[in-house]
Amino acid sequence: MTDTRLIATSPEGRTRRSLTFTIGAVVVGLHLVIGLLTLFWAPYDPTAMSGGRLEAPSFAHLAGTDRLGRDLFTLIMIGSRIALIVGTGAVIIGAALGVTIGLLAAFASKTLDDVLAAGLDILIAFPTLLLAMLIVASSDGASLWTAVVAIGIANSAIVARLTRILAKRVLRMDYITAARISGTSWIRVVTIHILPNIWPTLLVNLALQFGLAVIAEASLSYLGLGAPPPNASWGRLLQEAQGTVYTAPFGAIAPGIALVSLVIGINLLADGLRDIGDPTRRRRR
């Protein structure tokens, strides 16, 4: 009896969405809409003086102006686009590289697995930012794409280690052995069993990596190694506001709020996505 009742409720459970998912989706959606909007329209020309220097927030300048008299809100809007590009690009590179290496290690012979695991540990022990700086420094000058690639490679080590552990745990399950006995190829085992089972945990981690990538890009820009002007980056806005932080604090607070809201929004979104993707969690709500 219990069984039939549980089964009957499951289809409805799928359409139900959690509160965290909704909040996350709204915040990230807002950044996405704003970022896309800047491709066609912005309140002011981001490179031109549009008011006095270091003006306080007003209706004309929602976030005030910087020390060159540029509209800060316009720059922050463009910063959204840059942050999303860097986060998405770095996560795609990190996931593609990381999942491949992680699966390879999980399936590899013991010696190769040990070598890969040790290599990953060394990469992880290296601070992400330092690694990204090294990669940016060794390429011909900073650009948006060297930053994306550098952060993506740094992220891939963490993704790879997680994938390796998760995949190994799934590989020990009886249903994998049963599938092998009945003659399932390894590729099929990976696509129908391993990836779906490690995906929920991996997704949350990738969201974390997205947030870290946004922060890493801001740090690179802060150090002058990120996307060069005219790309507006939150990190460079923070750096430019540093000198005037006592006289015009909003110049530092506004990009800070933008950065934090995007990172938290992504994490909430991922939490919600995991709950929706996992049938055993789905039912409880």
Partner 1 sequence: MSPLLAIDGLSVHAGGQALVSDVSFSVAPGERLGLIGESGSGKSLTALAAIGLLADGLSASGSVLLDGRQVVGARDRDLVALRGTTAAVIFQEPLTALDPLMKIGRQVAEPVRRRARRDGRPADEKSVMREVMDLLDQVALPQPDRIAKSWPHEISGGQRQRAAIAMALACRPKLLIADEPTTALDVTTQAEILKLLGQLVRERNMALLFISHDLPVVASAADRVVVLRHGRIVEQGPVAKVFREPAHDYTQSLVAAARSFDDALEIAP
Q: What residue ranges bind partner 1 (CB under 8 A)?
A: 3-4, 6-7, 10, 109-110, 173-175, 177-185, 192-193, 196-197, 278-280, 283
Nearer residue to partner 1 within complex by CB, 58 or 191: 191
Nearer residue to partner 1 within complex by CB, 7 or 125: 7
Residue 215 Cβ vs partner 1, minimum distance, rounded to whole Å = 32
Q: What's the Cα-to-Cα distance from 35 to each of 39, 66, 83, 228, 233, rounded to whole Å?
A: 7, 20, 9, 18, 12
Residue 25 Cβ vs partner 1, minimum distance, rounded to whole Å = 23
Residue 162 Cβ vs partner 1, minimum distance, rounded to whole Å = 18
Residue 63 Cβ vs partner 1, minimum distance, rounded to whole Å = 45
DSSP state, residue 284: T
Nearer residue to partner 1 within complex by CB, 62 or 171: 171
Residue 11 Cβ vs partner 1, minimum distance, rounded to whole Å = 9
Nearer residue to partner 1 within complex by CB, 53 or 180: 180
Per DSSP, the three-state class of 26 is: helix
In terms of Cα–Cα distance, which of 258, 263, 199 is closest to 234?
258
Helix residue ranges per DSSP H, the chain = 2-15, 19-37, 72-107, 110-125, 128-138, 144-171, 174-181, 186-188, 195-222, 234-241, 250-277, 279-282
Contact 106, 120 (CB under 8 A): no
Contact 278, 200 (CB under 8 A): yes
Structure token digits, residue 242: 């540093």
Nearer residue to partner 1 within complex by CB, 138 or 182: 182
Nearer residue to partner 1 within complex by CB, 50 or 113: 113
Residue 205 Cβ vs partner 1, minimum distance, rounded to whole Å = 17
